[in-house]
Structure 1
């Protein structure tokens, strides 16, 4: 198994005279004796883990290029290097975005091995640090064949969440992540992974180079349409709008959405609410009006994940290809 370590809270120590981040190998040595992945662990739960460190920004400032690099390294580890699973340690602020981007790009790697992302809310020296426990549970989950085919997942607080469904819902609790209203995929208990539900359908097959410059704009009553053209003028290859309800955006934006669509700039409409994965133009009660001027529905994705999806979709071709990719999502 491969451990890709990016630093952040799960690896931070305030030890006197030596504060700083532990390497991936040091993280494994910090696991409790006998934990899966810990050096020298005997018996049936022993897992051989190779640690590699990845230079990365803090999670709250992680660039799309770093997220894409993690996705490529995880996929390559399974398809080209022969690892049967990958664990990625990551800060929690943008853990769900990186996990979903890794999921979208996993391709055949998702069928051959598990890809598990984890992090921690408390640093290593804080009371009741959740890092070692989360890492040990992630190794257990990644070593279990039951996760093959599930795609990238997030393992925290002994729960395993699908990348498409998981969201950070609490900034300070060790129970920081939830998949609600969807179920967790499983739990790690007694040193074993227990499968509890089926994963979401796999995303469309992807072959190409994702875009890294996609803008995300939160809409509000009275929003000036110039905000959309400004991000495009600055280089954005696509735009995600965070709307309200089932995916409503102010009518003042409709003309600009139509213009951007004519220019070949896809505009995806997501919602700040939990919504159905049904196509936006099939919603009732007048919802989805923006699709009549060219907008693309986000298929129930949270705005931040819709941005990841649009990054990938832009690698499939022009605006018609993007629209078709989202239709299959």
Structure 2
């Protein structure tokens, strides 16, 4: 009996046509995949979503819950979610954080496209075919959430979008992809990262992400908290440095039980903030929490999930230490 795979189709670039304008349903996307390339019995479900560049945390949480239910409650062997590339890496990682034990029951693959479906050499059909192949492959059970583009399979924790125009739009560098789809099957290339700790409670949507820069005014941090932010992620520089002008405010927010997580605009090692650099060590001393190598957007997702637990700074610090 072939594996059962659920295709969750959002309406983004893969589904768009411009001449004449139109948006394909999930069934129409699936129809573009040759039947002999389908290694699974595929059920299609169209799901409501904003364009990925305008997606809300509420929609991201809803997609994560549907993916989890498909594996844990509905008995599917795999799930493929089509998604716009702008925020695909954040949605993929958020699902990875909250799907829990359901990831051990089946495969979860997100895919998308950089070209509209009526463009010359549209990449959507091939990306979808490869994603469905991966979702049907029992060898990927327990690998966590994967992103499939250009036949490559990337772990949600490691993937980042680096090209908004080419079909090889994402990378896991400096890590290799987890695998690739070749000749209708999955070829393993590297072990996936360890699974994240178990999430508890509903994620907190109100987390601010603030990019630091020379001369930044610390009032930006307090203004975000005054507006309702339950936590703050700072996008630092280098190995996790933030301007000294923010240190007093970081200390104040920590005392108010508002977690402040420091990520970096650069790739960094998955270690404690105090081990990254002198600037990171100073920030850690006043209460900042290190993102452990996560990109800023993913660090925000992780803090949203951490704040779903009962607790503030202490719980968030423990959560990130186990990522």
Q: TM-score, normalized by length of structure 1? A: 0.95
Partner of 1:322: 316
Partner of 2:290: 297
Matched, 1:200 2:193: yes
Mapped to 1, the partners of 2:156 and 2:178 lie a distance apart of 10
Partner of 1:232: 225
- Aligned 8 A contact 1:11 1:22 in 2: yes
Residue 289 of structure 1: how far off its partner (Å): 1.2
Partner of 2:54: 61
Deviations 1:43-87 (A, max 9, x none): xx3x11111111111011111111111111001100011111000
Mapped to 2, the partners of 1:203 and 1:33 lie a distance apart of 36
Q: Which runs of 5+ in 1 are unaligned?
A: 37-44
Mapped to 2, the partners of 1:34 and 1:284 lie a distance apart of 53
Deviations 1:149-169 (A, max 9, x none): 111010000000000000000
1:10 to 8, 14, 18: 14
Matched, 1:261 2:254: yes
Matched, 1:74 2:74: no
Mapped to 2, the partners of 1:282 and 1:124 lie a distance apart of 47
- Aligned 8 A contact 1:247 1:288 in 2: no
Residue 287 of structure 1: how far off its partner (Å): 3.4
Q: Which runs of 5+ in 2 are unaligned?
A: none
- Aligned 8 A contact 2:240 2:277 in 1: no
Equivalent residue pairs, number: 318
Deviations 1:67-108 (A, max 9, x none): 111111001100011111000000000000000001001100
Partner of 1:41: none
2:131 to 109, 127, 138: 138
Mapped to 2, the partners of 1:287 and 1:87 lie a distance apart of 38
Q: TM-score, normalized by length of structure 2? A: 0.96
Residue 288 of structure 1: how far off its partner (Å): 2.5
Alignment of 1:120-131 (within 5 A): 120-131=113-124
Greater Cα offset, 5-14 or 173-182: 5-14
- Aligned 8 A contact 1:272 1:302 in 2: yes
Matched, 1:91 2:84: yes
Alignment of 1:161-240 (within 5 A): 161-240=154-233
- Aligned 8 A contact 1:113 1:145 in 2: yes
SS at match of 2:307: helix
Runs of 4+ in 1 over 6 A off after TM superposition: none
- Aligned 8 A contact 2:261 2:288 in 1: yes
Matched, 1:27 2:29: yes
SS at match of 1:115: strand
- Aligned 8 A contact 1:268 1:295 in 2: yes
1:243 to 215, 220, 236: 236
Residue 14 of structure 1: how far off its partner (Å): 3.0
Deviations 1:199-244 (A, max 9, x none): 0011011121100111100001110000001111111111000001
Summarize the Cα distance change of 1:33–1:84 in structure 2 as closer, same or farther, 3 Å threshold. closer
